[in-house]
Amino acid sequence: MGRKVFYIDTENLSFNEVRNIQLKFLLMIFLIVIFSLGFLFVLNYFTGDILGFGKARAEKLQRENNLLKEQLKVLREKFQQIESMVAKLLEQDRELRLAVDLKPIDEDIKKVGVGSVEEKYEFNLSDEEAEKLLAESFAKLSKLEREVRLQQKSYEEIYRQYKINQEKFRHIPAILPLKGGLTSKFGYRKHPILGVWAMHEGVDLVVDVGTPVYATGDGVVSYVGYRGRYGLLVEIDHGFGYVTIYAHLSKAFVREGQKVKRGDRIALSGATGLVTAPHLHYEVWKDGIPQNPLNYFFEEVDPAEYKKLVQEQNNKTNGG
């Protein structure tokens, strides 16, 4: 057609008509090449780089992807280690709960709290292995989180119970009320004076009249006075269902309602009431049932030794 082709003359900065037919032809070729290249780039873009122009970049991403997968594998291994550590904690938790007299965590609660089925995670990654690794790691992490939370709750419970027990252990009768020969044991026996078989609801400790008698656990004095064949007696309510009785006394140093601590001197032994010879009659009751006092003290720990033990303990805790 009559279309004219121009070129820029850089010497005098003017458009000049290209008149040379050869030059026109060369320009046509040049334009065709430019268009073809453009077309190829567009085609390559929409067909996912069949010409491999982005190969270097893709390879770099692939390397990074592999590295990430390796890291995910390391993570998964770490999670497995933590899992076995948590499992060990759960085992210790069981023992600790038993030690403080708490029931082990119910298996059902464990399942509800932790979840027996692992949660499903989806990231829609094109790499199947990476998808699997990532999903597994997330599932493990979330299970661990729930386990640790349950464990934390249990430890709080154990600590509370431990504090209660500490309080309880101070109250439960646990020492001898005095040092003396044991003549009459707990259980059925022929009464030395009445001559009939009867339940002996305590133990008799033979001592001279006027031997100091000590409280065997923390508590509140619930009775002081004369009671039939018991003579003068002191009764201490230790709480937690425990009551102790100290009978045939010659003198009481405590009054009803008074708080006493284990090892406090509460009375002097004697021979009041129905006795053949001076001795201390000592009883331990739990929930209204007489207990064998032998189960409530270590024979080698008498009040003096107990005080020594407490003193030593205090010195240790005071850093002396």
Q: Return residues touching Zn ion (CB under 5 A).
A: 204, 281
Looking up tokens 């009939």 gives 196
Burial 226-236 (b: 16+ CB within 10 A, else e): eeeebbbbbbb
Q: Which is nearer to Zn ion, 143 or 281 (CB)?
A: 281
Q: Which is nearer to Zn ion, 142 or 184 (CB)?
A: 184
End-to-end alpha-carbon separation of the chain, Å?
115
Q: Which is nearer to Zn ion, 204 or 264 (CB)?
A: 204
Looking up tokens 């692992």 gives 118
We find the least distance from the C-beta atom of residue 316 to Zn ion, in angstroms, to be 38
Q: Which is nearer to Zn ion, 134 or 245 (CB)?
A: 245
Q: Which is nearer to Zn ion, 46 or 188 (CB)?
A: 188
Question: What is the gyration radius of the CA atoms in the chain, in angstroms?
Answer: 46
Q: Which is nearer to Zn ion, 93 or 204 (CB)?
A: 204
We find the least distance from the C-beta atom of residue 244 to Zn ion, in angstroms, to be 13
We find the least distance from the C-beta atom of residue 182 to Zn ion, in angstroms, to be 11
We find the least distance from the C-beta atom of residue 201 to Zn ion, in angstroms, to be 8
Cα–Cα dist 86/66, whole Å: 30
Cα–Cα dist 175/301, whole Å: 6
We find the least distance from the C-beta atom of residue 173 to Zn ion, in angstroms, to be 16
Cα–Cα dist 77/140, whole Å: 11
We find the least distance from the C-beta atom of residue 280 to Zn ion, in angstroms, to be 8
